[in-house]
Structure 1
C-alpha cells in the first residue's frame, strides 16, 4: 500500500504535470470505486487543475470549473479526491488513449484494472488502476475535501509543524495501546501504514507491542525523531522519481519491512516476522526487543 512518502512524491509528480491543464475527459471504468454521485464526475470536464494536494494518504486534485452563470466569469472548485488503498496506483500517459472506456460494475481480475481515466488538453492523461481481487480504491468528487469523512477525521500530519514531541506524547497518553497500532491509526497520525511503522520502530529501537503509556519523555522524544527522520528520508528518496518507480524505490529502502530472514542492517541479526490474518510485521529482536522473539500465530506453540 502506498504510504505518506510515496503519496507525497506522487502528489508532487501530478501537480507538476497537471496544474494548469484543462480536463477534456473523465471516464469511470470501475463503478464500485466511485463513492459519491453529487457532483457527478462529468462536472470536472472543462475545468482546469489548480493544484494537487495530499491529505494523509489521500490525493486531492483541485479543479476550477465554470459555475454555470453566463457572463459571470466566476469559477467554483471541485475536488477529485482518491485513496489508492492496497492495490491502487496511478499511471501517466504522455499521449492518453482515446478509446471509449466501458464502465464495469465489479470484477475479480488480479491484474491491474482501469478504474478512472482523465485526459487533458495537451493529450496527456492519467489512469487510476487497481490490482488484486479485493477492490478498495476510493474515488470521491466533492466541493470540499472535508466532505470526505476519512479526510475530515484524519489526525496530525507527521511532516507538519503541528507534529511535535509534545503532540506525540499527548497521543500516546490518551489511551494505553500498542505503539505500532497508534502509529498506524489514521485518526491519530495521518499517513503512516504497516511498512513505515515497522521502519520507524526499528530506527527507534522499540518493540511494536510496547504500550504507549510505558514511554518516558526521553523515549517519546526518540520516537518522534524516528518518525520525522524516517519519513523525511523516505520522501527525499521518492520525490523526483516517475510514478512508475515509486513502488520499487519504497521496497529497496526498507530496513526490516518485507525483509523476513534477511540480516538486520544495524546489527546483523535475522529479521523476524509476526503474521496476522491479512498482514504481517517485521522487526529485529536484537535491536527492538532485547533479544526476545515475539510469538507468531503460525509458530506460537513453539515459543510458549
Structure 2
C-alpha cells in the first residue's frame, strides 16, 4: 500500500509535470473507480492544473474548476507516459504494456489522465480487487476520508502534543492506532512496523499505557522514519519507489531474518497472519526492558 513518503514524492512528480497545463481528458476503463457518479470526469476536460497536493495517502489535483481527488487504496498507482511512448505501447496486452513502461510492479491500467500535448498519467491497480478511487469535487475536504484525516506526521506543524492527544486514554493497540487515518494521516502497515521497531515498543501494547518517555520516543521514531523515507525517495523515478521502500525495511516483511539492531530473529506480530513484523528482543511484550 502506498504510504505518505511515496505518495508525497508522487504528488511532487505530478505537480512538476502537470501544473500550468490543461487536462485534455480523464478516461476510465474501470468505471467502478469513479466514486462521485453525479460528477462526470468530463468536468475536468480543458481545465488548467493549478496545484497538486498530498492529503495523507491521497493526492488532490486542483484545477481552475473542480478538484480531482485520487485515492490509491491498497494497490493503486500512476505511471507516467510521455506522448511518444503511448504510441509504442498501443495495442499491447495490458500486462505486456506494463512490462515495457515505468510502473513497478507491473499493474493493470484502469484509465488515464491525458494532458494537452498527449503526455499522460496512466492509472493502474495491481490488486486482486479494485482499490483505486477517483472523486470529482469542489475541494478535497468534500471527500469524507479527507475531511476525517488526523494530523500529518510529515507536516512541519506536527508536534509531540499532537501524538499525546492521539494516544491519551486509548485502549487500542499501538500498531492499530498508528494506522488509523483519523488519528495520524499517511501511515500504513509497513511504516507502522518500522516506527515501532525504531521506538522499541511492542506493537500490541495499548497506546494509553505509554509513559512520558515512551511517548517522546514514539514521536521521535515517527519523525525519523517518515522524514528519512521521504529524503531517500525524493527525486527517485516513480517506477523505483516501491522497490526502494521494500529495500529500506528493517523488520517489515523480513520474518526469520536477523534484526539489524540486535541480531535477534525478526518475527510475525502475533495474530497478524504474517502481514506485520517486529523484533521480540528490541520490542518485548512488557515483561523485560528493551535491548540497549
Instruction: Classify the TM-score, shorter chain.
Output: 0.7 to 0.9
Q: How big is each residue's C-alpha offset from its partner over 1:24-74, in whole Å with a ceiling of 9 and x where there is no partner?
A: 12111111111002331011010111111000001111111xxxxxxxxxx
For the pair 1:8 / 2:34, whether they are aligned, the reply is: no
Secondary structure at the aligned position of 1:97 is classed as helix
For the pair 1:88 / 2:76, whether they are aligned, the reply is: yes
| Alpha carbons of structure 1 residues 48 and 276: separation in structure 2 relative to 1, 3 Å | farther
Give the conservation status (yes or no) of the 8 Å contact 1:80–1:139: yes
The residue that corresponds to 1:97 in the other structure is: 86
Picking from 260, 265, 269, the partner of 1:265 is: 260
CA-CA distance at 1:238 after TM superposition: 0.9
For the pair 1:215 / 2:210, whether they are aligned, the reply is: yes
| Alpha carbons of structure 1 residues 125 and 279: separation in structure 2 relative to 1, 3 Å | farther
Q: How big is each residue's C-alpha offset from its partner over 1:191-235, in whole Å with a ceiling of 9 and x where there is no partner?
A: 000000000000000000111121111110110000011100000
**Structure 2 stretches of 5 or more lacking a match?**
92-104
TM-score normalized by the length of structure 2:
0.88
The residue that corresponds to 1:79 in the other structure is: 67
How many residues align structurally? 272
**Structure 1 stretches of 5 or more lacking a match?**
65-76, 101-109, 294-304
Aligned-partner Cα distance in 1 for 2:39–2:274: 36
TM-score normalized by the length of structure 1:
0.84
Give the conservation status (yes or no) of the 8 Å contact 1:38–1:142: no
Secondary structure at the aligned position of 2:77 is classed as strand
- What root-mean-square deviation, in Å, do the aligned CA atoms of Structure 1 and Structure 2 show? 2.1
Give the conservation status (yes or no) of the 8 Å contact 2:202–2:286: no
Higher mean alpha-carbon deviation, 253-262 vs 111-120, is at 111-120
| Alpha carbons of structure 1 residues 275 and 31: separation in structure 2 relative to 1, 3 Å | farther
Aligned-partner Cα distance in 2 for 1:138–1:275: 32
